[in-house]
Every structure is written in C-alpha cells, then in structure tokens.
Structure 1
Amino acid sequence: MPFPLRFGANYVPAEGWFYSWLDFSADAARRDLADLAGIGLDHIRIFPVWPWIQPNRALIRQRGVDDVLALIDIAAEFGLDVCVDLLQGHLSSFDFLPSWVLTWHRRSLFTDRDVRDGLAAYVDRLAREVATRDNVFAVTLGNEVDNLFPANGTTPDASSAWAAELVEVARAAAPRLLVLHSLYDAAWYDPGHPFHPADTVGLGDLTTVHSWVFNGVSALDGPLGPATVSHADYLVELAAATSADPARPVWLQEVGAPAPDVPAADAPAFVRGMLDLVTANPALYGVTWWCSHDLDRSLADFPEREYDLGLFTVDHRIKPATRELAAVIAEHRRTGGARQGDGPGRRPALVCEADLAAEPGRRGEVAPGSPFHAEWVRLRRSGPVAIVTKARSADTAHLEARGIDTVLTQA
C-alpha cells in the first residue's frame, strides 16, 4: 500500500549546537523550528544528550526530561512531528558517554550487564515520557550507535542482543510509537564490522539508512556524478533487498551535501538529482536532512565538514540547496507523492550474489566502487533499478510485492 513520503530535518540548534541542552531556551528553539516549518518539513529528529539526563546509573534527571518534552511541545506549535533519538551517544564526531562507563568504571555499553540494565531504565523512562505527546511518532535507540565501537568492545552476537533487548524495552514503554535501530554505513559495507545488516532490517519497525558520500563514493565520479547522486537510492535498495519482508519501509534518516565532496555551488543540483532518484523508490518511507542549522565556527575541534551542513546558517539565512529541497517538497505535495511502484509502473532488478543478512562477511562485494555497485550505477542511469538477492530472484511473490518485472544478472 503506498504511503506519502515524509520530509524532515535532523534538528541541530543554531545557538550552541547540542550544548544548548545544558541551558535550554524555548525562544531559541521556536526561532529554529519556524525556519524548518517555513520550508514545508513535516518532522524533526531530536537528540537529547544521554549523560546529561542520566549522569549516574541510578539517577535520571526530571529537569532534563522536561526540556525534551518542552522541545516536543514547541515542535507541535509549528505542526512538526518528532522522532526522539534516545542514546546520544555519538554526534558529529564526538562521543557523549556518562562517567559511570568511563575511567575507573570503564565497561562496554554493549556487553556489561550493569550498563545494559542502566540503559534499559533510561530507554524505558524517556520512551514513556515522550509517548505522552501526540506529535511524537518514533524513537530511535541512538544516533549511529555502531560509531561507539571500538571504544566499547562488542561482538556480532552481543551487538544484536543489545539492540534487540532495548527495542523490546522501548516497545513495551511506548507501544504506539515506531521503534528503530540506527547504524551508519559500515554496517552495510565493512565485512568485519560487528553490527550486521540482518539487525538493521530485522530489528525495529522499519529500516533506517544514512547516506554520506564522503565514504568514498564522491571520489568515484565527483559531486554530481551518477555514483554520488544515486548513493542514497543504492542504500535504500540494499536495505529493501536484504529484508525478508518485501513491504518493510526504509527511512533515509540522514542525508546531506558535505563539503568539499559536494561544493556549495553544486549543492542545489545534488539535492535535486539525489531526491529525484531516491523519491522514486517504492520502499522509501521518508527523507530527513542532516542537518537543520550550521555549526557556529566559534566552537572548536569539529571536523571541517561539520560546520556547514545546515539547511540554514547560524543566523537563520536560507541556503540555495535548501530552496531546492523546499521546491522538491512542494512538488511532491502537489502531485500527492506518486512514485515508481505505486501504480502500473514496474522496474528491473539486478541480482546480488551476496545475501548480506546471511553472509555479512561478503559486504565488501557491494561497497562503493565494487563491480556490483558499478553495474547498478550504470543501469540506474536509465531508470529505477531494484536489487534482489539470488535466493529471492525466482520468488515471484517477492518480485511482485516489490514491483520487479525483470531480473538482470551482473555482466
């Protein structure tokens, strides 16, 4: 059944970055969210900083929780729905971890039983609290929690058990909300990574992917080359192909135009090209841009590309790329968001020899620049192209459910 696409932004406060949680300002938040509502977005994803809410394993600060609820209520004033990321965790190259897992207390988030019990208490409390707000539609366990490895040792089995446990805690606490497990793309491309594709497509209520072209894609053919512009669609297709459920939606939960991979002069064309491709994908649930506002250059020690990723500058000026995003959103709203697969339109699929869910050690075979990726990019230049695993390539019900009419093999 077709569903309307969602368009949103990962909310990064213009004033003070995420440090603003330390002295939350409702007025500053209102100004930021007015920017986002003004370009037609329907949701934001927010990032409470975990150690500032749970500074001790046995202490969850109500004041911190109340600030999260206040931001959610402000979002409602602007007609914005909210996804709450629970465990921060990792943000823009910094890890935020409480003292009770560091120094003399050093222990892994993923394997230590006491830490996992503390996390379960935190997830339960925050999920229950935010579920009291009608405009909250989802919670994510954390922002790219696999970035917390290797500082927190884990194994594939421990990673999977950790996520499965917390997904169930969140579901029990907030049964009406979508519960999600979010990972960066090493889970898809790195053969040795201890977080596996099977968990991204098997845990939680839908699959999330984060598409960043600084992972080597842009080096293949430049900022506006077909590999770069189609990378988001490629990740959505990998996720759809890996899922046992052909109807499982995929949320492009982070995508951006990072410099220098995508220079400012090319950013509007990148936005248009990337969205034209990925929004045709019938598996796509929504697109959430990283990020809402730039990072103030008075703040030190961030990677250079982090400072200019916003839709708006720190003084609330709109960017050319943002105008392009707003135009795409308006077009989708006018047309009702019709996509490939909603009606009679069909598409071919390229067979992937590797089943990433069952064979994570073969992830390198689909990484950017691999022969499989190159062939998919070549085919994608002529129109939408699905990906299907070899095991499902003769499953007519699966093919029909995903709108696939022709199966192609790699040249």
Structure 2
Amino acid sequence: MPLSHPIRFGANYVPPAGWFYSWLDPSPDATRRDFEDLAGIGLDHVRVFPIWPWIQPNRTLIRQRGIDDLLELIDIAAEFDLSVAVDLLQGHLSSFDFLPSWVLTWHERSLFTDPAVRDGIAVYADRLTRAVAERDNVFAVTLGNEVNNLYPANPTTPEASARWAAELIDVVRAAAPGLLALHSLYDATWYDPAHPFHPADNVDLGDLTTVHSWVFNGVSAIDGPLGPATVTHADYLVELAAATSLDPARPVWLQEVGAPRPDISAADAPEFVRGLLDTVTTNPALWGVTWWCSHDLDRALADFPDREYDLGLFTVDHRAKPAAEELAAVIKERRRPVVNRPALVCDVDLRSEPERRAEVAPGSAFHTEWVRLRRSGPLAIVTAGRAADTGHLTARGITTVLTTQA
C-alpha cells in the first residue's frame, strides 16, 4: 500500500463479540463475519490492536501463540482483500489501559524512561514486526494506540518521549524496511501547552503523520453537531500537521475519526459523516481515512464511557448503520478534486513553540478565524516563517496567503 494518490478508506477493527477480550479466545469464523461487513461497504484496510501484555506477559517472555493468533487474523483479512496496519502497544483502548504487570505494582516503571522497560519493548517490537512483515497484506506498524494517553501514569519529559519514539521507529524500520513505521498520538500533542509529547514528534518521526480527530475535545460545544467548527475539525488537524512538517509533501493519515454520542446524535450522524468527508477529502495532504470503529460494543460489557458503545459502523449483530451507508457512498465516489487554495498565516510555529499550543486549540482566535474563512472553501494553514517560501507554497497547492487581519 504505497503512498499514492487515491484516498484510502478503512476501519479500526473492534470485534463485536467480546471486544478486545476476544484475543484471549479468538474465533476465526467471527473474524470472517466482521471482515465481510467491512469489505462489503468498500473499505480497503483495517487497523488492528493485539493486546501487548497478553503477548509479552513477562519482560523476557513473548508468547508465540499470541503472535500466531495475530497472523491468523491478518490472513483472514487477506481473504477479503483487506490490507492491515498493526499497532504494537495496547496500551490505551476505549478508556482502558492494558499494561503488563512487569511495569506495574511493585515494579512501577515508566514505559518511556526506564531502561529495562525500553529494552523489553524493543524486543517485543522487533519480534512482532518481523512476524507480521511476512504477510503481504500488512502495510504499516504503529508504535501504539495514542501512546501519549499512557502519560501521566508513566512519567516522561519531552526529550524522553521523543527519544523513546525515535528508538522504536528505528527498531520497526530495521525489522521491516518495506512497511510504514508510524507514531500515533491523540490531539493533546497539538493543543495542550504542557503536554510532554510535542507536535514536532508527530511530523518528524515515522513515515507519515497520523492525526486523531474527536469532536468531544470541545469542538462540538462551539457550534453543535453539524456546525462548521465540528464538521471541519478533521481537516483542521490535517492542516496543522501539514503546516508543522518540514516536508511539504509529507502525507497525513486521519487514523481515527468517528461520530461520538451525544456530541453527534444518531439522527445527525449521516450528515456529519458526509460533511466531514466532503471537507477533509479535498485536502491534498490526506493519505487516508480510518473510521473508529468497525462495530459497536456490546452493552453487556460494563464500565465503558457511554459513547464507546455506539461508535461502530455496524451494530453488534452486523447491521450496517446509516453512518456506514454514507461512508460507503463517499467511497464509491472516489474523488479527490485538484484544489489550489489560499492559506491562513499562523503566527504560532508549533514545531519551535509548543508552549503556545493553546493559541491554535479549538475556540482560539486563530481556530475561529480559520473556521470562518473555511466556510468559503478549502483553506490551508501556513506558518509565518514559511508564508513567503514560494517553493513550500507551491508544493502544498497554496496560491494566496491571508492574514488574520484580512
């Protein structure tokens, strides 16, 4: 799955039968049924989440059975022409953290700073990456799902966070040179001035940038479920990423996006999906869209935040929801219009001024102005330091530069 022109569409795979606990007792037939759902609406890939402590329960023990279960799932995906991205460290999933006991209880060691833990993770990353790289339909390995969610329980610093991720990216690349090696962070890295994972890490480390767009971060409170700030938030994150990267051609993967309740009601979900995708798919930096998530969560399972139960494209009994039907319609259109667009100058350089991240957060003056101007059509973001760089502007399809005073 090269970094090519057509937009990729996929889903983050959440098994409807048993959620991620199903890794303890996997059912190939259940997986086939799930993947048949996803292939049936035109998706071309899935992102999957083997549970780290169940494969590496001890720092020096990696269970081959756990790896074999993952390989079987990848082979089933191939039966439906689905490519697979594998996340390594789970890590954080749907409000639960899954960490091995050898970093908890009496051990109390930070994933990001303890040398022995880092060595153990490196061995795990090497072993799992080499195994999945043997499958032709695997295209990417991500270090973990929103690993910055594991802070502050695992204390770190910006320098340690960047070093940790850079070292693991090198492990993945050495183990599988033909796969994309990726670093995944949720949006505190873009918006929280004190967060110890910085925007530069997201755009410098790995082979492309990943962003996760969730409107329950405060965006939906600005103008409601179908307002311009809400519908354009994914495009805004893609633009922040493109503006922060030193490489004007670096692709951005919208690796997670969904329609969470109550921010987006069931009645509003199809229109939200259409508006979001009509907006973000015009962005020339966009590599692909991976919906969170494939299937709803069974309400027989306890203690999840309420919104987690209804995020699926399909119900637990495999019925396609209206959001899935709207996504399928967009996929059939397979369009990416050629866009030459203006850019709004951002005085904050997130690469060199992470302490100013609040100035671009949802509801900030800059975000408000970008949303206002975005209503007239596609709108890029460019830092003040690159606003006169004609090579950079041309590479990103930017024709006009606007200021917030314009």
TM superposition score normalised by structure 2: 0.99
Report if the CA contact (8 A) 1:49-1:87 is conserved: yes
Structure 2: segments with no counterpart, 5+ residues: none
- Measure how far apart 1:2 and its partner are: 6.1
> 2:62: which partner in 1?
60
> 2:261: which partner in 1?
259
Q: Distance in 2 between matches of 1:19 and 1:85?
A: 16
> 1:392: which partner in 2?
386
> 2:338: which partner in 1?
340
**Which amino acid in structure 2 is aligned with residue 10 of structure 1?**
N
Partner SS state of residue 6, structure 2: coil
Q: 1:300 to 1:269 in 2, by over 3 A?
A: same
**Which amino acid in structure 1 is aligned with residue 51 of structure 2?**
V
- Measure how far apart 1:321 and its partner are: 1.0
> 1:111: which partner in 2?
113
**Which amino acid in structure 2 is aligned with residue 376 of structure 1?**
W
Please list the CA deviations of residues 342-395 of structure 1 after superposition, one character each: whole Å capped at 9, or x if unmatched: xxxx10000000000111001000000000000000010000000000000000
> 1:349: which partner in 2?
343
> 1:129: which partner in 2?
131
Alignment of 1:241-252 (within 5 A): 241-252=243-254
**Which amino acid in structure 2 is aligned with residue 406 of structure 1?**
T
Q: 1:78 to 1:30 in 2, by over 3 A?
A: same
Correspondence for 1:120 among 122, 132, 157: 122
Q: Distance in 2 between matches of 1:11 and 1:338?
A: 25
Please list the CA deviations of residues 178-235 of structure 1 after superposition, one character each: whole Å capped at 9, or x if unmatched: 0000000000000000000000000000000000000000000000000000000000
Please list the CA deviations of residues 157-191 of structure 1 after superposition, one character each: whole Å capped at 9, or x if unmatched: 00000000000000000100000000000000000
Correspondence for 1:175 among 174, 177, 185: 177
Report if the CA contact (8 A) 2:140-2:182 is conserved: yes
Partner SS state of residue 302, structure 2: coil
> 1:323: which partner in 2?
325
Q: Distance in 1 between matches of 2:346 and 2:132?
A: 40
> 1:381: which partner in 2?
375
Please list the CA deviations of residues 74-128 of structure 1 after superposition, one character each: whole Å capped at 9, or x if unmatched: 0000000000001100000000000000011110000000000000000000000
Structure 1: segments with no counterpart, 5+ residues: none
Q: Distance in 1 between matches of 2:213 and 2:34?
A: 24
**Which amino acid in structure 2 is aligned with residue 351 of structure 1?**
V
2:404 is equivalent to residue 406 of structure 1: no
> 2:296: which partner in 1?
294
> 1:366: which partner in 2?
360
Q: 1:53 to 1:2 in 2, by over 3 A?
A: closer
Q: Distance in 2 between matches of 1:57 and 1:155?
A: 23
Alignment of 1:214-293 (within 5 A): 214-293=216-295
TM superposition score normalised by structure 1: 0.97
**Which amino acid in structure 2 is aligned with residue 339 of structure 1?**
P
Q: Distance in 2 between matches of 1:340 and 1:213?
A: 27
Report if the CA contact (8 A) 2:7-2:336 is conserved: no
Q: 1:2 to 1:21 in 2, by over 3 A?
A: closer
Q: Distance in 1 between matches of 2:143 and 2:342?
A: 35
Q: Distance in 2 between matches of 1:192 and 1:327?
A: 41
**Which amino acid in structure 2 is aligned with residue 77 of structure 1?**
E
Correspondence for 1:303 among 277, 291, 305: 305
Alignment of 1:155-174 (within 5 A): 155-174=157-176
Report if the CA contact (8 A) 2:222-2:229 is conserved: yes
RMSD: 0.7
Report if the CA contact (8 A) 1:281-1:340 is conserved: no
2:184 is equivalent to residue 186 of structure 1: no
Please list the CA deviations of residues 24-49 of structure 1 after superposition, one character each: whole Å capped at 9, or x if unmatched: 11000000000000000000000000
Q: Distance in 1 between matches of 2:373 and 2:125?
A: 43
Report if the CA contact (8 A) 2:281-2:336 is conserved: no
> 1:211: which partner in 2?
213
**Which amino acid in structure 2 is aligned with residue 225 of structure 1?**
G
Q: Distance in 2 between matches of 1:79 and 1:363?
A: 41
Partner SS state of residue 198, structure 1: helix
**Which amino acid in structure 1 is aligned with residue 61 of structure 2?**
L
Report if the CA contact (8 A) 1:197-1:357 is conserved: yes
Correspondence for 2:17 among 15, 18, 28: 15
2:33 is equivalent to residue 36 of structure 1: no
**Which amino acid in structure 2 is aligned with residue 409 of structure 1?**
T
Q: Distance in 1 between matches of 2:140 and 2:148?
A: 20
Q: Distance in 2 between matches of 1:340 and 1:152?
A: 44
Report if the CA contact (8 A) 2:235-2:283 is conserved: yes
